[in-house]
Amino acid sequence: MHEFSLASAIVEQVKEIIEEHKAIRVKKISISAGPYELIIPDLLQDSFKIITDELEKFRESVLELIRKPARITCLECDYNGEPDSEGDEEFAFNFKCPECGSRDTHIDRSYLTIESVDLELPS
């Protein structure tokens, strides 16, 4: 289960952040993912709940998933960023470079990242 391993990777990373800041608990975790990260949000949420169920520091924490637009790298001019809106999302190879118009582009498929972690810190 893809979502389960993703959720546990997120929890592991957040545990380190909690440790680092000596936080009492985590209130909210925001993660971002591109459209080609094939995540089923409900499954990710369920996995997150299962994993954090027994963890005191994750009690009532919220996991927020932010969808990011696709990113491409142009093989012609080295442009890196969002593709031309003309790109057909059904076909990753069809994205057009907004800089030079080339369709010789690469889609950056995986960039799931932790955007922010909202901690409750000791006063």
Site of interaction with Zn ion (CB under 5 A): 74, 76-77, 79, 97, 99-100, 102
Q: By C-beta, is 74 or 107 nearer to Zn ion? A: 74
Cβ at position 68, least distance to Zn ion in Å: 20
Cβ at position 98, least distance to Zn ion in Å: 8
Residue-by-residue DSSP string for 6-70 = HHHHHHHHHHHHHHHHT-SEEEEEEEEE-TTS---HHHHHHHHHHHHTT-GGGTT-EEEEEE---
Cβ at position 104, least distance to Zn ion in Å: 8
CA distance 53 to 86: 44
Name the burial class of residue 53, with classes exposed (0-12), middle (13-18) and buried (19+) by CB atoms within 10 angstroms of its CB.
Answer: exposed
Q: By C-beta, is 77 or 114 nearer to Zn ion? A: 77
Cβ at position 89, least distance to Zn ion in Å: 19
Q: By C-beta, is 74 or 119 nearer to Zn ion? A: 74
Q: By C-beta, is 30 or 73 nearer to Zn ion? A: 73
